[in-house]
Amino acid sequence: MDERSAWQEQRRQAIAGHAAALDASRAAEAREAAALLEKFVRQAAEHGLTPHPLAARSFDGRATYRTKARGWYLKSNRSIAVGEHGEYYVLTVPASLRARLTGADLSPSTPRLIVGAGGGDGETVPLAQLLKQRLDAGVSWP
């Protein structure tokens, strides 16, 4: 039984080590993505791109809600945005009568370097590419 306990403890430590490494990797990725977002906000100001009110859609796509957030949409379907202070928003929220009346509450999400990674729909694109496309489009963005 002593060998089995030692093996289980070794396995627990290995799992904890892998989890810590994954957390550190994600934190480093989030810092790098946040730096890209901050740079985008500066460049948008330099290019004269003013932030717009952002709207969120319900998860089922049937309803659109106003929000208090302002920023720039990064995808033409308006599902991802950068807030005016460098926040990263995924613009989907639960359907709600309250949100229909008072607006949806948005919370910034942790930015990723690859937008859509792990989403399962196969639609992934580097964050840097989305930011460049948005800057290059100027004021004529969908």
Q: List the single range of 59-73, 85-99, 111-125 with lowest mean pLDDT.
A: 111-125
Instruction: Assess contact for 138 and 101: CB atoms under 8 A.
Output: no
Confidence of residue 131 (pLDDT cuts 50, 70, 90): very high
3-state secondary structure of 104: strand
The length of the chain in residues reads 142
Q: What is the rounded CA–CA span in Å between residue 64 and residue 52?
A: 16
Is the model's pLDDT at 37 over the cut of 90? Answer: yes
Confidence of residue 1 (pLDDT cuts 50, 70, 90): low
Q: Tally Cβ neighbours within 10 Å of residue 53.
A: 11
Q: What is the rounded CA–CA span in Å between residue 12 and residue 77?
A: 44
Q: Which helix (H) or strand (E) holds 57?
A: strand 52-58
- Looking at the chain, the whole-number percentage of residues with pLDDT higher than 70 is 95
DSSP per position, 34-52: HHHHHHHHHHHHHTT---E
Q: Which helix (H) or strand (E) holds 56?
A: strand 52-58
Average confidence (pLDDT) over 41-53:
95
